[in-house]
Amino acid sequence: MKYLIKALLSLTFILLFVQCSSSTAINDFFGIKMPPNESDYFQIVAYTESSGISYKSSPNMDPNIFAWAGLEGEILRIKLVNESNAPVNLNYDSDQFIIVTNDNTEFICIKENIMTYNNKSPINETKSVELLLELPQNYWDKVGVTNIQASNDNSTHDIWKGQYSLGLGIKDVNHIKIILGFSTNILLKPVPKIY
């Protein structure tokens, strides 16, 4: 009986550990804190599971505050890491997570509920947090209409097309912008995969 209880406790611990950990590695996108006007100087050179990531940056960038992100269906999973000497504050009202597609269309992701989000703040020194953001939903579409009886009467109308996710894939995303408060900007670029 003692062995059965010990086995059940071990199994419970293992199931709890597996349930609380991420199901997949968060390694689709990577970025560091930087001034918004210096994003062109940030380039990811290489990434492997064994050696990690290598990148080029400018002296004005802060590699001690960085983020990893992964697209998982309709969810954007972001891991924010603070290895600086000061805490990083999160603010539900001012923080933005923006996906920029290859055609420069911007989509603002939907944050978790306000209590869950704000309870993760501040991100203290040498700590990290993981955020689950929803991809935005598209409800409306613009349709152009031409009045064939009047040559100069062209207009557009918004039409309801139902609720559906955007369904972005990794290859559709040019970069991800994270704006925390009004002072921390992190730009994440796609991580090249080596197979």
Among the listed residues 89, 105, 81, 91, the one whose alpha carbon sits nearest the alpha carbon of residue 33: 81
pLDDT 10s per residue in the chain (195 long)? Answer: 555 444 444 444 443 333 333 444 678 999 999 998 999 999 999 888 888 888 999 999 999 999 999 988 888 999 999 999 999 999 999 999 999 999 998 889 999 999 999 889 899 999 999 999 998 765 555 555 555 565 555 565 555 444 545 667 888 899 999 999 878 899 999 998 765
Residue 153 and residue 156: Cα distance in Å, rounded?
10
Domain ranges of the chain: 23-137+166-190
Give the per-residue pLDDT at 42: 93
Give the per-residue pLDDT at 20: 36
Among the listed residues 188, 193, 186, 187, the one whose alpha carbon sits nearest the alpha carbon of residue 88: 186
Q: Tell me the CATH number for domain 23-137+166-190.
A: 2.60.40
Give the per-residue pLDDT at 2: 52
Q: Please state, in angstroms and as integers, the Cα–Cα distance from residue 82 to each residue in 66, 105, 124, 136, 147, following that order.
A: 7, 29, 7, 27, 57
Give the per-residue pLDDT at 166: 62
Residue 123 and residue 70: Cα distance in Å, rounded?
20
Please work out, in degrees rounded to the nearest 5, the angle formed at the alpha carbon of residue 105 by the alpha carbons of 89 and 177: 20
**Global pTM exceeds 0.95:** no
